[in-house]
Amino acid sequence: MARAAHRRHGDEIAAPARPSSRQVDALAAKAKGCTRCPLYRNATQTVFGEGPTGATLMLVGEQPGDQEDRAGRPFVGPAGKLLDRALVAAGIDRLDVYVTNVVKHFKHERRGKRRLHKRPNREEIDICRWWLDLELQTVRPRLVIALGVTAASALAGRAIVLSRVRRKTMDFTGLKGMAIQHPSALLRIPDSEARHRAFDTFVADLQYAAASVS
Ligand code: URA
């Protein structure tokens, strides 16, 4: 895959607006008004996936965060910036990848002015699965990469322990799948050396996954 030519702001790489196909745009337009579960009530908007149909890779995260909720785009906040850096380091162009989440609304609780992420529950994940299945059927990626345990368990249909499935191929409802760390998990590592090592492992796992379908 071609190297990304993303814009750089100091250290950060701004995720570019990705051209989506008409089919994805049509799905996203339908999902805009989604009221299938109560999460829409406290969210700013639906954050649908983006990227080309026929993408070789689909990356699936957990749910949009605070910044994604405001921007209406997946993985544009701190975890997204880390993901962007990792994709560049792995030689993967984000423009070629379909990026989405298991749950399309930001679930959170308010603490003063802050909106703190809350993990979606089983029911919310199951209900939102409707949209993820449509994305999987529309994009038909050659490999689905689950980012973190929530996405991996939702896609595999069973509880996944990430360390046990590292670099193993799984069945994600008929599509080839792999699971890697969620970028937010890397951001939470307090020790900077350990965080850099985890980043290198994350990049190597991305490269391994991409090479398995190249
Ligand atoms: N975390 C996710 O799982 N998805 C996003 O889009 C942003 C942060």
How remote is the CA of residue 54 from the centroid of ligand 1, in Å?
22
Q: Output the pLDDT for position 112.
A: 95
pLDDT in tens, 173-188: 999 999 999 999 999 9
Encode pLDDT of 18-75 as tens digits: 667 899 999 999 999 999 999 999 999 999 999 999 999 999 999 999 999 999 999 9
Give a yes or no: residue 72 inside a domain: yes
Query: For residue 1, is it within any domain?
Result: no
CA-nearest of 121, 128, 145 to 46 is 128
pLDDT in tens, 139-164: 999 999 999 999 999 999 999 999 99
Instruction: Give the pLDDT confidence score for residue 207 in this predicted structure.
Output: 98
pTM exceeding the 0.75 threshold for the entire prediction: yes
Any domain includes 188: yes
How many Cβ atoms from other residues are within 10 Å of residue 128's Cβ?
Answer: 24
Q: What is the pLDDT of residues 88-127, one digit of tens each?
A: 999 999 999 999 999 999 999 999 999 999 999 999 999 9
Q: With contact defined as beta carbons under 8 Å apart, do 14 and 21 qualify?
A: no
C-alpha to C-alpha distance for 95 and 193, rounded to whole angstroms? 30
Q: Average pLDDT in the 2-14 region?
A: 45
Instruction: Output the CA 148–ligand 1 centroid distance in Å.
Output: 10
On the CB side of 195, how many CA atoms lie within 13 Å of its CA?
11
* CATH for 45: 3.40.470.10
Is residue 10 included in any domain, yes or no?
no
Q: Which residues line ligand 1 (CB under 6 A)?
A: 61-65, 68, 74-75, 77, 79-80, 101, 184
pLDDT number for residue 3: 39
Phi-psi region of 158 (alpha: psi -120 to 50; beta: other; left: phi over 0): beta
Q: Looking at the 3D structure of the chain, how many domains does it have?
A: 1
Task: Give distance in angstroms: CA of 101 to centre of ligand 1.
Answer: 7
Is residue 184 assigned to a domain? Answer: yes
Candidate of 70, 75, 105 to mutate for ligand 1, largest count of ligand atoms within 8 Å of Cβ:
75
Ligand 1 atom nearest the C-alpha of 150 is 3
Nearest ligand 1 atom, CA 75 = 6
